[in-house]
A and B are shown apart, each in its own frame.
Chain A
Amino acid sequence: MAHEVAIPKLGLTMVDCTLTGWSKADGDRVEKGEVLFEIETDKITSEVEADAAGYLRRFAEVDTMHTVGAVIGGLYETRNAALAATGVVAVALEAVEAEPVEAAHVVVPAAAAAGRLRVSPLARRIAKGAGIDPGGLTGTGARGAVLRRDVDAAIAGRAMVAGPGPKRRPLAGLRKTIARNMMQSLQMSAQMTAFARVDMAEVVALRASLVANEAALGVRVSFTDIVLKACAVVLARMPDINSSIIGDEIVTWDEVNIGLAVALDDGLVVPVVRRADRKSLVEIAQERLDLAARARAGRLGHEDMVAGTFTLSNFGSYGGDFETPLLNPPQSAILGIGAITDEVVARDGQIVIRPMMMLSMTFDHRLIDGAVAGRFRAELRALLERPATMLAGLR
């Protein structure tokens, strides 16, 4: 009996991945612990080592998608057995709609594990006659199956428009992961967004001072770093916010790990600054720069992306004032910060111009009541308006 080579689960919420490469060829001898194949999930690339020795037979092609647990190859006792093996050829997941899954308890549906491009025999026949590749169509049948109506629509569309039709590409890879996560976020939690206006004058001054000493510090500290640190300090004080609902339990995390949304050309990733409450501003700044650089290079590791307990998103960097951020499940809170802009405000009965910033905070209302959210907002605002008090508390 052959040893199955299967897609491992590399993270709590991993559902599927793209097989990006094989390190061995059919019939090659593989020793336990040798790198066998490479997969990509959520823009993380992982090398997977063989968990047994044997002669390899590959059942899956490179650049195909697979669910966790899908068998993509086998390890056999002899080379001949491997070459003669006729395992069920693992097939791509392109058209498979993942079932809605609970973020913390990912279960891979059995049907999806054996998923493939689904085209009804009739649709296939008609498409062939019309010279259409059914694989390029969007299926509207059960589990994305391409049915006759889809082929008919494609033929009708081709007839109506004399040029190329709308451009279509499969929903796959990172975009598919994001789509799934965003839908899950909205479907599985009760999201409440609150706003607060913060006077950033003292933070602006603090940052100016830190930038002036960039050479000495060895890093250029950003507003984001300061806000991230402030959030970490408040979260350490308020474990109710640094908590998650997972299944039937409320889990209060023992670390404050803050995810930082990083925009990419084709999506968004959220690498995590671990234990941010115990790191200095300089350490946070260094780590942020490293994570962002690696994210843009597509070289984040799985460990860089997991275990976040809170997320910070700086949409101010592209000009936003306030938004309603979506939670990153299973986290219970996310903070979006807008641009710092000079605004006219009343202060001690006087009209003054102050550098103001909007905090947009979304909480999971299942876990966090309005009063608790209000306290978090107030404490965060206090720290940002008087950053010296934050620094005073640092060890």
Chain B
Amino acid sequence: MPTKTYCWAIIDAMREEMARDDRVFLMGEDVAAAGGAFGASRGLLDAFGPARVRDTPISEEIIVGMGVGAAMAGKRPIVEIMFIDFLGLCLDQIANQAAKTHYIYDGMFKMPLVIRTSSAVEMGIGPHHSQAWEALVAHIPGLKVVMPSTPRDAKGLLKSAIRDDNPVIFIEHIAMHRIKEEIEDDEDFLIPLGRADIKRMGSDVTVVASGLMVARALAAAEQVAGEGISVEVIDPRTISPLDFDTIAASVSKTNRCLVVSSSHKNFGFGSEVAAEIGERCFFDLDQPVRRLSPPFTPAPFGRQFDQFLNPDADAIVAAVRDLMA
């Protein structure tokens, strides 16, 4: 199997799907001539031409809004919003239009729209370029929210998102762009949306980790394995709809759960997982569900703040030990 970076996995997914279905096209800021602000659409302009790979003005509302209209008129657009922090500029088109069109019009329109966006959590580039907003969009019914943590997941999930008839917010982590992984060389390699992945099997503690936190949870699991603590690491991959069945089955086995995420604790991803576990698995719990998240504050400019604010592997190790105490 070829080894690909996370970034090239995304490019490959788009190239394969655009070749497979000529209704698929890509538009966004800097996606064509520049090959993407982060290089995640390199080569696509040459491969598919300027009609299907389009640089847009810096007009987020119309980027998403045109995606909505084009989808209603039969296309399968991929639009790119450079940073997830910019979603505020187009939230009406996401939340009121894309998410509700199928619903309002009684299923007469599909909404096969992929909104690719990047998270730069912990990249030290300040309060307007560093937010984890997956929980914000996951709150809206009708949207799917996907957040891959490995190159293989990124490719398989993006291909599924493009083939899906619902609007999908696809969150790519810039910090992971250069991670490499072997990926199946198969144009129909798909990872289904809404299915969590057990990244490591274990029996003592379930750690539900998303995005950047997955690798950290795995490192922490390795560390405590030496102490005889067996950690099961679950990456939901799709934030909404969340695969609670996999999480609940794990927690019912381990009886202990920690949720680690870049999303704020308040009303966040961890809160949602913890509450659902409380409802589904209460009588399987031997310890309260724990959450590790950044505190309820913006992130200032500078990596020292990011390191201070975000959970690291040591924090995960400590929380796991705490659950075993």
What is the interface of chain A, defined by CB distance below 8 A to chain B? Answer: 120-125, 141-142, 147-148
Contact = CB atoms under 8 A, between A and B. Distances in A.
B325 A122 contact: no
B285 to A, nearest CB: 5
Contacts of A141: 287, 325
Highest count of chain A CB atoms <10 Å: which of B255, B284, B286, B287:
B286
Contacts, number: 26
Interface in B270-298: 282-287
B300 to A, nearest CB: 32
Interface string B283-325: 1111100000000000000000000000000000000001001
B285 A120 contact: yes
Interface of B: 255, 282-287, 322, 325
A277 to B, nearest CB: 51
A125 B255 CA distance: 12
A148 B285 CA distance: 9
14 contacts: A121-B282, A121-B283, A121-B284, A121-B285, A122-B284, A122-B286, A124-B283, A125-B284, A141-B287, A141-B325, A142-B322, A142-B325, A147-B286, A148-B255
Contacts of A148: 255, 286
A83 B255 CA distance: 40
Nearest to A147: B286
Nearest to B278: A121
A120 B283 CA distance: 8
Contacts of B322: 142
Given A123-B286, A124-B283, A148-B286, 15 more contacts: A120-B255, A120-B286, A121-B283, A121-B284, A121-B286, A122-B255, A122-B283, A122-B284, A122-B285, A122-B286, A125-B284, A141-B325, A142-B322, A147-B286, A147-B287
A121 B279 CA distance: 12
Nearest to B252: A122
A122 B255 CA distance: 7
B69 to A, nearest CB: 51
Contacts of A120: 255, 285-287
Contacts of B286: 120-123, 147-148
A141 to B, nearest CB: 7
Highest count of chain B CB atoms <10 Å: which of A122, A123, A148:
A122
A120 B287 CA distance: 6
Nearest to A123: B286
Contacts of B285: 120-122
A5 B286 CA distance: 34
10 A-B pairs with the lowest CB-CB distances in the bound complex, closest first:
A122-B286, A120-B286, A148-B286, A125-B283, A121-B283, A121-B285, A121-B282, A122-B255, A147-B286, A122-B284
